[in-house]
Amino acid sequence: MAIERIAILGTGLIGGSVGMALRQNGFTGPILGWDREVVQAAIALARETITEIAGDPITAAQQSDVVLLSGPVFSILEWLEKLAPVLRPDQLVTDVGSVKGILCERAAGLYNQPGRPGFLPGHPMAGKEVSGAANADGSIFHGAVWLFTEGADGAEMSAEARERANAWREWTHRFGCRTIDLDPKRHDELCAWVSHLPQFVSTALSALLEDKFRDDEDLRAIGGRALREMTRLGASPYSMWRDIAHTNEEAVAASLYALEQRLTHLRENLKTPELRKEFDLANRFRLGRPHKPAKTEKRPNQ
């Protein structure tokens, strides 16, 4: 079944960017938008990332073929529970949450069952260090990876919802994404290393510099590209990263602990040959392995 009408619950940076990407890539149907912050929905409408502000999010979801849940993880968890009893089996719910294990656990038994709507958990590896509908940008998905963590219960998805799930995957390709299917636990482990750890490192460094050099204009005056790149993520909003820290605590803590050990090793070997070994390893990771395009994993029921 075709996707003719979409509801986006959460019209901030990512939700707004999805709406914009849909329009830029030929979607002509209605895009209903709702946000807890009314001003965000108003900005999204003004920027034409949505076509209509939904008065009631439940009604908007019921009227749509696909419902995109965009926002912090805890808000997505709430919507999964609210929507499951009120949507039809032919409808599809998908999301852009940064942690998948807890979302897939909560959705189990509520979706992809006889008489229940379909659920396709997703996560675009794209974004900015700033938030809000005013910063939405449909081009942020170009060259990015859109991860899907559909579990075995996906086989129970209705035929109509399955068609829409496949259609949604195709839309992410039109946005310029490559798609990869992962187990939810594997997703959370990998994202802890490639996304969550860099964020917390940047946050810690930015906070440390603010503590130590708050009123030191010389630091900002001489800080160059290295400082800008290393602290860019330090501007990211707490509201989103609080939820990630709470729902992916084990994997994030493990990565932070491993980094602590590595930093201790560096500190203790600033004047030994071990320092060169560390640089050699770092160079090998960054420069020595040519990128191999990932292939989309095709599941039997797709």
The pLDDT of residue 299? 44
Residues 178 and 34 in one domain: yes
Confidence band for 12, pLDDT divided at 50, 70 and 90? very high
Same domain? For 136 and 281 the reply is: no
**Tally of domains in the chain:** 2
Angle between the 73-83 and 238-247 helix axes, to the nearest 10 degrees?
70
> Which amino acid is it at 32?
L
Same domain for 263 and 148? no
Is 299 within the bounds of a domain?
Answer: no
**pLDDT over 70 at 296, yes or no:** no
**21 and 138 in contact (C-beta within 8 Å)?**
yes
State the residue for tokens 């209605």: 30
Share of the chain above pLDDT 90, in %: 88
Query: Looking at residue 129, what is its pLDDT?
Result: 87
Average pLDDT along the chain: 93
Same domain, 203 and 125: no
Task: Say how far apart CA 47 and CA 91 lie, in whole Å.
Answer: 27
In a domain, 292, yes or no: no
Q: Answer for the pair 6, 49: CB distance below 8 angstroms, yes or no.
A: no
Show the CA angle centred on residue 237, arms to residues 24 and 174, nearest 5°.
20
Is residue 296 a part of any domain in this protein?
Answer: no
C-alpha distance across the termini of the chain, in Å: 14
Q: Quick one: average pLDDT of 271-277?
A: 96
Do 131 and 148 fall within a single domain? yes
Residue 302 has pLDDT above 50, yes or no: no
| pLDDT for res 269 | 98
Same-domain pairing of 137 and 237: no
Query: Is 145 part of a structural domain of the chain?
Result: yes
Among the three residues 126, 158, 183, which one is the final residue of a domain in this structure?
Answer: 183
Residues 190 and 170 grouped into a single domain: no
Widest distance between CA atoms in the chain: 66
**Whole-prediction pTM value?**
0.90
Taking CA atoms, 87 is separated from 117, 169, 299, in Å, by 6, 21, 25
CATH assignment at residue 156: 3.40.50.720
Say which CATH number the domain at 242 has. 1.10.3660.10
What pLDDT was estimated at residue 289?
60
Q: Are residues 223 and 111 located together in one domain of the fold?
A: no
Asked if 177 and 209 sit in the same domain, the reply is no
Say yes or no: 59 and 103 in one domain.
Answer: yes
Asked, for residue 294, whether it belongs to a domain, the answer is: no
- Whether residue 232 sits in one domain with residue 90: no
Model pLDDT for residues 237-263, shown as the tens digit of each residue:
898 899 999 999 999 999 999 999 999
Residues 135 and 202 in one domain: no
Q: Check residue 212 and give its pLDDT.
A: 95
Judged against a pLDDT cut of 90, whether residue 85 lies above it is answered with yes
| Domain end call among 183, 215, 232 | 183
- Residues 159-212 have pLDDT tens digits of 999 999 999 999 999 999 999 999 999 999 999 999 999 999 999 999 999 999
Domain boundary among 183, 198, 217: 183
Check pLDDT > 80 for residue 288: no
Q: What is the per-residue pLDDT across 142-171, written as a single tens digit (0 to 9) for each?
A: 999 999 999 889 899 999 999 999 999 999
Give the per-residue pLDDT at 2.
86
Please report whether residue 208 resides in a domain. yes
Whole domain around residue 203: which residue ranges?
Answer: 186-287
Query: Does residue 302 belong to any structural domain of this protein?
Result: no
pLDDT higher than 90, residue 67: yes
Q: Three-state SS string across the chain, please?
A: CCCCCEEEECCCHHHHHHHHHHHHCCCCCCEEEECCCHHHHHHHHHCCCCCEECCCHHHHHHCCCEEEECCCHHHHHHHHHHHCCCCCCCCEEEECCCCCHHHHHHHECCECCCCCCEEECEEECCCCCCCCHHHCCHHHHCCCEEEECCCHHHHHCCHHHHHHHHHHHHHHHHCCCEEEECCHHHHHHHHHHHHHHHHHHHHHHHHHHHHHHCCCHHHHHHCCHHHHHHHHHHHCCHHHHHHHHHHCHHHHHHHHHHHHHHHHHHHHCCCCCHHHHHHHHHHHHHHCCCCCCCCCCCCCCC
